[in-house]
Structure 1
Amino acid sequence: MTALGDVIEIDDRTVLVLGQELDVEHDQPDVANALVHRAGETLVLVDTGVTTEFRGALREATALVGPWSRALVLTTHGHLDHVGNNDLADELGDAEGGGGGGGGPAEHYVPALDVDQMLDPAAYWVRSFERIAGLAPLPAPPVLVAREVVSLFQPMRPFCATTRTYEERPPEQIRIGPVRFTGWTFADGAVRVLRSQGHCAGHVIVHLRDCGVLHLSDEGNGPCGAMADADQLKIQTVLGAVALLFEAGEAELLTDGHTFAVRSGAEARSYLEGLLEQAAVLREIALGLTGESRQVRPGEFTARYAEAVAELGVGGANPNAMFTAMTAANQLRELGLRPESGDIDALWSRPALANLAPPPPPLPAPPGSI
């Protein structure tokens, strides 16, 4: 059993600080794992979780990685469980870094595409819950459910005095062994922030060159994305690219936002390949549930899809009925189905291609006609 704030020591300059699972019934927010790493004289903090208790654990972890003189805080994406303590960057900028002395304001970077949800998380979650109003029963209207979810994640301080977006820096073409990414490098190339954008619109992953850690954050939260701005193709593409890094020996250790583990070598490859296989199986199941029918009753589809997910045991991080319904909605869209109207109980259907075909060309006029 792990507890919030427990630490896994990776090496003498890198630790993984463990978060906790979501428990809505007991008003417990999920808290994402955070990486604390020292690259030369730079303290690197990847995500900050949420809650005062986790903030204290992060602060203690900064003393475990050796002396540092400047600090860099990197946000992988804008979800509440990753950003609540981002203003810790202000404290780190004024701190005496493990005996090395403060180095002025800490740098803090966030993905530009996630700034809106960080400014207004309730609106982001309303959008997510409105999509599933006809797929699964909600305990209250989407607006109220969203408010309840957001209220769990307190205190919420996603910005600090020096927050900037990654996109303000020139984009770089980053080659790691056989794989090419776009992104940004820090600490003389020891820290690589790589665009992935699958779990949500702005998502990035982080590669720590000197210790071989690849932090997947939430790109590995199950085989299929749940959020309204998730991109299934990008999720599977980044999982495949990361698996290739491990095959090539360019990454040695895999960490992520929610599984409370450090995976190495063959174990990491097997884990990544397992996610890709699960994604293929679930897509096949979803296709089988829709069959050749042009119309689908979304509630019935979601119930049967949930049964398949439970039977396979592939619910991903923080499995619950609402997240499963969100994933089901994404599966329907991946198969080309859309709601026929804005009604809650509207049928989902594929376009009737026969009705979209252009009319046949007119027959040629008979000879001699005008």
Structure 2
Amino acid sequence: MSALGDLIGLDDRTVLVLGQELDVEHGQPDVGNALVHRAGDTLVLVDTGVTGPFRAALREAAERVGPWSRALLLTTHGHPDHIGNNDLVDELGVPAEHYLPARELDQIHDPVGYWTRAFERIAPFTELGAPPAQAARTLLSLFEPVRPFGASARTYEELAPERVTVGSLRFSGWSFVDGAVRVLRSEGHCAGHVVVHLRDRGVLHLSDEGNGPCGAMADADQLKIQTVLGAAARLCAEGAVTTLTDGHTFAARRGAEAVAHLDGLLAQAVALQRAAVELTRGADRVEPGVFAAAYGRAVVGLGVTGANPNPVFLAMTTVNQLRGLGFRPDPAAPGGPWCRAGAGRPPGGRAG
């Protein structure tokens, strides 16, 4: 059983720092895993989690992979469980750089607004226990303090984009430390998400692209999630990636185990999409609560797992599945059935 701040040594200069699961009932924030690596004389931090104990674990990992005389912090995305200790990079006593995705800036600057909008979408599907804005503030209070910006923070997009080759595949992204560290655009889990590849160590850190078979966030892109999972599976199968890590499963996977894990997520994604299609086949209108209950049973029946399994995240995934099938709330009947907007008919209407 892993504990917050446990260290997994991937090689003599790379450490995975383990986070923890979300437990709202007991006031426990989730903490995303972080990757700590030394490339030449540069300390590379990929995300910084949140909480004081995790901050201390990052320092321990940094000392383990040393010595280094420069620091580079790479933020994969803007959720609070990944950015809480970003100011640590300025306390290391060496010249430092910090990069983060431009498309994540809105949620970083206004996390309450971001999570309020997320909770407003799921209000018909689950009991939040409070109005969406209050529920958002309650959730975010678990993560305080969050310090998302290093003093040198810039966006990746300020740098000239590159075509980055990993194995047989080509990506859009950026490279650092003479190409030893690559940042690859993925943008599936949320709008600006990136993944990180350590060229000389064969490590691919998916961060939250590997959270589960289907994206929960309002700004998730299901196709991009499945595309990056498929690309990762190919790179693992051909040996271009030898170690796979992510933000929340608290493990490092290698070889056939990594491929099987990724193929399992892809198979579950297709199975859940098929279940959603069957649940709505021939229907122009669905009751949100009825659909959510049936979809939840499909999730359990398929043995689907993912980061932080709880009713709120299940509801967020449910909304994305229903919207992906063309259903939308009927503006003429708030709180009523959702209606399919098909060819030639608006939400709530019928084909003429």
TM over 0.5: yes
Question: 1:159 pairs with 149, 152, 159, which one?
Answer: 149
- Measured in 2, the distance between the counterparts of 1:33 and 1:342 equals 44
1:290 aligned partner: 280
Cα distance change on mapping 1:342 and 1:266 into 2, 3 Å: farther
Cα deviation, residue 177, structure 1 = 1.7
1:87 aligned partner: 87
Preserved contact between residue 31 and residue 50 of structure 2 (Cα < 8 Å): yes
Preserved contact between residue 213 and residue 265 of structure 2 (Cα < 8 Å): yes
**AA partner of residue 36 (structure 1):** V
1:11 aligned partner: 11
1:346 aligned partner: 336
- Measured in 1, the distance between the counterparts of 2:90 and 2:161 equals 26
- Measured in 1, the distance between the counterparts of 2:251 and 2:117 equals 32
Cα deviation, residue 342, structure 1 = 7.6
- Measured in 1, the distance between the counterparts of 2:98 and 2:332 equals 40
Preserved contact between residue 247 and residue 269 of structure 1 (Cα < 8 Å): yes
How do 1:1-370 and structure 2 match up within 5 A? 1-92=1-92, 94=93, 102=94, 104=95, 106-341=96-331, 345-355=335-345
**AA partner of residue 80 (structure 2):** L
- Measured in 1, the distance between the counterparts of 2:52 and 2:345 equals 58
- Measured in 1, the distance between the counterparts of 2:252 and 2:148 equals 26
SS of residue in 2 equivalent to 1:353: coil
Preserved contact between residue 225 and residue 232 of structure 1 (Cα < 8 Å): yes
- Measured in 2, the distance between the counterparts of 1:81 and 1:138 equals 20
Cα deviation, residue 66, structure 1 = 2.3
Preserved contact between residue 326 and residue 342 of structure 2 (Cα < 8 Å): no
Cα deviation, residue 200, structure 1 = 0.1
SS of residue in 2 equivalent to 1:9: strand
**AA partner of residue 158 (structure 1):** P
Cα deviation, residue 160, structure 1 = 1.7
Offset from partner CA, 1:166-198 (integer Å, 9 cap, x none)? 000000011112111000000000000000000
- Measured in 1, the distance between the counterparts of 2:336 and 2:125 equals 10
Offset from partner CA, 1:88-125 (integer Å, 9 cap, x none)? 11112x2xxxxxxx3x2x10011000011111111100
- Measured in 2, the distance between the counterparts of 1:168 and 1:235 equals 25
Preserved contact between residue 12 and residue 66 of structure 1 (Cα < 8 Å): no
Cα distance change on mapping 1:40 and 1:130 into 2, 3 Å: same
- Measured in 2, the distance between the counterparts of 1:17 and 1:107 equals 20
Normalised to the residue count of structure 2, the TM-score between the two structures is 0.96
SS of residue in 2 equivalent to 1:270: helix
2:349 aligned partner: none
- Measured in 1, the distance between the counterparts of 2:214 and 2:331 equals 25
Identity of aligned residues (%): 65
Offset from partner CA, 1:150-177 (integer Å, 9 cap, x none)? 0000211001210000000000011112
Query: What 5-or-longer segments of structure 2 have no aligned partner?
Result: 347-351
Deviating beyond 4 angstroms after TM superposition, the runs of 4 or more aligned structure 1 residues are none
Cα deviation, residue 346, structure 1 = 2.9
Query: What 5-or-longer segments of structure 1 have no aligned partner?
Result: 95-101, 361-370
- Measured in 1, the distance between the counterparts of 2:33 and 2:145 equals 17
**AA partner of residue 88 (structure 2):** L
Cα deviation, residue 214, structure 1 = 0.3
Preserved contact between residue 134 and residue 344 of structure 1 (Cα < 8 Å): no
Preserved contact between residue 337 and residue 351 of structure 1 (Cα < 8 Å): yes
- Measured in 2, the distance between the counterparts of 1:348 and 1:171 equals 41
Cα deviation, residue 354, structure 1 = 4.5
Structure 1 or 2, whichever has the larger Rg, is 1
Preserved contact between residue 276 and residue 295 of structure 2 (Cα < 8 Å): yes
Cα deviation, residue 313, structure 1 = 2.2
CA RMSD of superposed structures (Å):
1.3
- Measured in 2, the distance between the counterparts of 1:188 and 1:242 equals 23
Preserved contact between residue 52 and residue 155 of structure 1 (Cα < 8 Å): no
- Measured in 1, the distance between the counterparts of 2:194 and 2:188 equals 9
Offset from partner CA, 1:42-96 (integer Å, 9 cap, x none)? 100000000011001101110001211100000000001000000011112x2xx
Normalised to the residue count of structure 1, the TM-score between the two structures is 0.92
Cα deviation, residue 312, structure 1 = 2.0
- Measured in 2, the distance between the counterparts of 1:308 and 1:186 equals 43
